[in-house]
Amino acid sequence: MSEAASPLDPIAQLLGNKLPETVEDMRSLLDGLAALFNAGLPPVGAFHEKVPVDGCPAGVTADVIVPEGEGPWPVLVYRHGGGWICGSPTSHRKLAHRFAEAGHLVFNVDYRMAPEHPFPTPFEDCVESIRWAARVAERYGGDPARLAVGGDSAGGNLSAAAAIALRDDPSVEISAALLIYGVFDFGTLGAGSPFPGMTPEMLAAGENLVELMVGSYLGADREAVLGDPRVSPIHAAHQLPPSHIVCGSADPLADQAKTLAEALEKAGIVHEYVLVDGMPHGFAQMEFFPQARQSIDRMVAFLAKHLS
């Protein structure tokens, strides 16, 4: 009798029993997963694709997703994951649509990425995109006084870093952050398996993959910036807004989430920390896992508390 199919089989097929080895491999992988992750988009009121982000160079855009019904709606500025080297609003379209379905005006930002645009460019794009979203939110029926930021993986890192950078900016007030299996301390970032069942060879390849992403983003002089809150927001965690931190227990970034939650607890920052048993990296996009929708629902409830 053959073994039962795993929900991760389509991803394993795309991986071809090995992890990506180059930036091009990573980009091809996420492009290939887009159809799987975005199947069955939830209904929204309107969708504006590739809106230019004023204040950033040409090519920095955002998909603006308007909820159904009547505003004004709370605003969520979202940054996709992809290790600072891949991903796009398209690869994370359904996840962004879920927040719009729940009644948030969503700006799904297409920031510039490494290695073509290493640090600090992605960070700077994310900061400026939040300022821009606050300026134009009313144009789309949003309420800039009720604004949150969020992102997954690299996008979680960028969201936390940008929220800290804008803490005292009079042009925008960030009321909450969704920090989804992000990197918060590059100084302790280690390699590991993003999915269960990997061989020792694949674990070794994981080390190379981490080096590919970190090296592309931070370059050869990374030691000089490891303690910079723009890179490792753990070093200014006390300046974060109320934050929802979520990660799967099978994610190699689980310790990153736990450490950030501990720092927020010590600083007295309102937060929720959820460790989802058995879930791999990226699971919020994998709606074949019931835990994906459950986690999104928890995030929506957290936003409702802080954007009311």
CB within 8 A of 270, min separation 6: which ones? Answer: 242, 243, 306
Q: How many domains does the chain have?
A: 1
Q: 31-52: per-residue pLDDT in tens?
A: 989 999 999 999 999 999 999 9
Sheet strand arrangement including 73-79 = 46-52, 61-66, 105-110, 73-79, 142-152, 174-180, 243-248, 271-276
What pLDDT is stored for residue 120 in this prediction?
97
**101 vs 200, which has greater pLDDT?**
101
Count Cβ atoms within 10 A of the Cβ of residue 41 and give its class: 0-12 exposed, 13-18 middle, 19 or more buried.
Answer: middle
Do the domain assignments include residue 176?
A: yes
CB within 8 A of 174, min separation 6: which ones? Answer: 130, 147, 148, 149, 163, 166, 167, 241
What pLDDT is stored for residue 20 in this prediction?
81
Do the domain assignments include residue 273?
A: yes
- Residue 80 belongs to domain spanning: 9-306
- Please state whether 21 falls in left (phi above 0), alpha (psi between -120 and 50) or beta: alpha
Provide the mean pLDDT of the chain: 91
Cα distance between residue 140 and residue 75, in whole Å: 10
Do the domain assignments include residue 251?
A: yes
What pLDDT is stored for residue 10 in this prediction?
55
Do the domain assignments include residue 20?
A: yes
Do the domain assignments include residue 38?
A: yes
- The CATH number linked to 193 is 3.40.50.1820
Q: 232-274: per-residue pLDDT in tens?
A: 999 999 999 999 999 999 999 999 999 999 999 999 999 999 9
Chain position carrying tokens 């009798």 = 1
pTM of the shown model: 0.93
Do the domain assignments include residue 2?
A: no
What pLDDT is stored for residue 155 in this prediction?
98
Cα distance between residue 105 and residue 54, in whole Å: 18
Please determine, for residue 1, whether its predicted confidence score (pLDDT) is greater than 80: no
Q: 153-180: per-residue pLDDT in tens?
A: 999 999 999 999 999 999 999 999 999 9
Please determine, for residue 8, whether its predicted confidence score (pLDDT) is greater than 70: no
Do the domain assignments include residue 58?
A: yes
Do the domain assignments include residue 4?
A: no
Task: Label residue 17 by pLDDT band (50, 70, 90).
Answer: low
Please determine, for residue 190, whether its predicted confidence score (pLDDT) is greater than 80: no
